[in-house]
Structure 1
Amino acid sequence: MAKKGILLVNLGTPDSPSTADVRKYLNEFLMDGRVIDINPVSRALLVRGLIVPFRAPKSAKLYKEIWSEETGSPLLHYSILQHKALAERLGDEYQVELAMRYQSPSIESALERLKKNLVSEIKVIPLFPQYASASTGSVHDKVMKLVSEWQTIPNVTFINSFHDDDLMIATFAQNARKYQPETYDHILFSFHGLPQRQIMKCDHTHNYCLKVDGCCDTLNDTNKFCYSAQSYDTARLIAEQLNLPKEKYTVCFQSRLGNDPWVQPYTSKVVEQLAKEGKKRLLVFCPAFVADCLETVYEVTVEYGDEFKALGGEHVQLVESLNDSPMFIDALERMARGKFN
């Protein structure tokens, strides 16, 4: 009997922390039309002429701070562990492949392995809990373009998002409990940022997003595919697991690029404001990431930690990501088998 194919896809990481490899990674990442959604010519001039030449050396220094001689990039390390654990759970009935949207292992090579082994179907699981065109949408787009060139196309299905998966929510809550959230002055749910224009494009009515007060406070038929609304929903569900009152936590967004307005509030501004209010200890979740990476290990722990201390704060504690938690592997297994909470 033919195996069923499972394709896990995370964002990607440079092959090494060298400036050359970081430059190569950033070029592929930022030249994606779903990541920087502007005119292709303008995008090429911006990325290759301005962003990458200046950003690559700086980013390379940051990657060196988190790189391990034994395991390399933490994002790739934990992605490999997730891949291995899921394959063991699913057994011989499935062929599980791991790919990165940018760099290696590539989506093309993973799909070729599934094709070579004549899998009966392929389920694509982008490892992004909240849907965004620049992440999940880009993975779907790439897979469809590659598979469309095959002469024989098996049944291909996609996971759109799992922002409210109960096992994923429970894993983040479990990871936080050892830090005793109730002992912190404030808690941040810091999600990766997106330009406001990309958020607004998800509103196909063109009269709801950013025009309705509290438009992200609840998930409904209009905003159900909105990254920001799904992020707020994820934060609410984790907070409920931990019995956190609304005044105890803030949803915010990190990692801005360029001068265009991005979805707000910005994490850096929230950290600054909390320090001015006299808060001393912050606990930070990053629920847009299923594996610890530069944005969690360095941006939160080091950059925001240093900023907070410089303004009078004492400690910023990161709640580690899902990584290779058995409960998260349970969630992936359930998605792979087509069962949902």
Structure 2
Amino acid sequence: MQRTGILLVNLGTPDSAEVADVKKYLKQFLLDERVIDIPAFNRNLLVRGIIVPFRSPKTSALYKKIWREDGSPLLYYSLLQQQMLQEKLGDTYHVELAMRYQNPSIQAGLASLRDKLVKEIIVIPLFPQYASASTGSVMQLVMELVSKWATIPPIRMVNSFHDNPLMIAAFAENARIHGPENYDHVLFSFHGLPERQLLKCDHTGTYCLKSDDCCETLNDVNKFCYSAQGHDTA
């Protein structure tokens, strides 16, 4: 029986909370040209010469405060998500987990699906809203890796799921636990991006940040804009 392969991809985590592993993680993460989208020389100087040496000890200390006895919290819950999805989908699917940075790697996840002889691969970056620095980076690496395969199976990539009813229902259910009706306002907070990365999503150069309300409604121009998708989710 041929199965469909699913590759869940989360952001990443150090292999341990120790400074050496945090340094490896931060280097791989911040040297990604889609994350810090400045010229390579400047990016290397900034990351290798300033950010990693000075930030790693502080970040290591913070990781140690949340680190579980069985490892990274993000990896623990991501593996649990993989297991639950596998149980939900059954034997007609094979679900693998990967991290964009560090382990388990995307290369290992793709190789495992190839070895399972799946009939197609569905790549699902676990970021509801599209951003070049997250989903775009995952897609680029997947394409680079499979381009080296002699036989490339059908591959589908989920660009975003910011408006998926099941995702929104899950968020709403989590919010209800805290009694939002008892508050005057509910604030939605999303991860920030530099404005230059938002501008790159507007290939026309005529819409993004041209007005104060450019992100409030999705349209053909801003449909891949992280900010516009965030507004749509909220």
- CA offset at residue 185 of structure 1? 4.2
Q: Which runs of no fewer than 5 residues in structure 2 stay unpaired?
A: none
Give the 5 Å matches for 1:212-227. Answer: 212-227=211-226
1:125 corresponds to which residue?
A: 124
The answer on 1:136 being equivalent to 2:131 is no
2:4 corresponds to which residue?
A: 4
- CA offset at residue 213 of structure 1? 2.5
Give the 5 Å matches for 1:180-259. Answer: 180-235=179-234
Cα-to-partner distance string for 1:95-139 (whole Å, 9 max, x where unaligned): 110000000000001111111121111010000000000000000
1:77 corresponds to which residue?
A: 76
SS in 1 for 2:2: coil
- Which stretch shows the higher mean deviation, 130-139 or 114-123? 114-123
For 2:141 and 2:133, how far apart are their aligned partners in 1?
A: 12
The answer on 1:95 being equivalent to 2:123 is no
Cα-to-partner distance string for 1:41-62 (whole Å, 9 max, x where unaligned): 1111110001111111111111
- CA offset at residue 89 of structure 1? 1.2
Give the 5 Å matches for 1:35-74. Answer: 35-70=35-70, 72-74=71-73
1:240 corresponds to which residue?
A: none
For 2:55 and 2:198, how far apart are their aligned partners in 1?
A: 25
Greater than 2 Å deviation, 4+ residue runs: 184-187
For 1:73 and 1:216, how far apart are their aligned partners in 2?
A: 35
Q: Which amino acid aligns with 1:77?
A: Y
How many residue pairs get aligned? The number is: 234
SS in 2 for 1:191: coil
Cα-to-partner distance string for 1:164-186 (whole Å, 9 max, x where unaligned): 11111011110111211122243
Cα-to-partner distance string for 1:211-253 (whole Å, 9 max, x where unaligned): 1230011111110000000011111xxxxxxxxxxxxxxxxxx
SS in 2 for 1:171: helix
For 2:39 and 2:33, how far apart are their aligned partners in 1?
A: 8
Give the 5 Å matches for 1:138-157. Answer: 138-157=137-156
The alignment's C-alpha RMSD in Å is 1.0
TM-score by length of 2: 0.97
For 1:213 and 1:32, how far apart are their aligned partners in 2?
A: 30
SS in 2 for 1:189: coil
For 1:2 and 1:171, how far apart are their aligned partners in 2?
A: 31
For 1:81 and 1:188, how far apart are their aligned partners in 2?
A: 28
Q: Which amino acid aligns with 1:147?
A: V
SS in 1 for 2:214: coil
- CA offset at residue 195 of structure 1? 0.8
Give the 5 Å matches for 1:312-327. Answer: none
Q: Which runs of no fewer than 5 residues in structure 1 stay unpaired?
A: 236-341
